[in-house]
Amino acid sequence: MARRPRTPLGRAGRFAVCACASTGPQHVFEDIESGTLAVDRPIPSESALIQRWGVARETARCAVRHLRELGYVCTVPQRGTYVCDRGEDERQDAQ
């Protein structure tokens, strides 16, 4: 039986670390990759993510934390969370 290649966070996919892995961060990730959320622009607020995804606050926080750990977003205290410029090299590594 052939083995699937491992992704940075395990076999189940890019966001497979906790319960928030199912859908939440994938939507924001896709918006970042497609350019819908531009570099240096804020991502939707925690409250907006909760309403959009229909999840608990901790799930939304977990999703944003994963995106931050992967380098897709940067959080500025008391300002918000913004899309980071990952550079061309980092984008290719993520794919």
The phi and psi torsions of 36 (rounded to 5 degrees) equal -60, -40
3-state secondary structure of 10: strand
pTM of the predicted model over 0.85: no
- How high is the pLDDT of residue 82? 95
pLDDT of 21 strictly over 90: no
- How high is the pLDDT of residue 56? 86
pLDDT digits (tens, 9 = 90+) for 47-87: 998 898 888 898 888 888 988 998 999 999 999 999 998 77
pLDDT of 45 strictly over 70: yes
Task: Compute the distance between CA of residue 79 and CA of residue 59 in angstroms, rounded to an integer.
Answer: 20
Selection from 36, 8, 28, 35 nearest residue 73 by Cα: 28
The CATH class that applies to domain 19-94 reads: mainly alpha
The residue whose two tokens read 């959320």 is 37
Phi-psi sector, 82: left (phi>0), alpha (psi -120 to 50), beta: beta
More confident residue, 48 or 22: 48
pLDDT of 35 strictly over 90: no
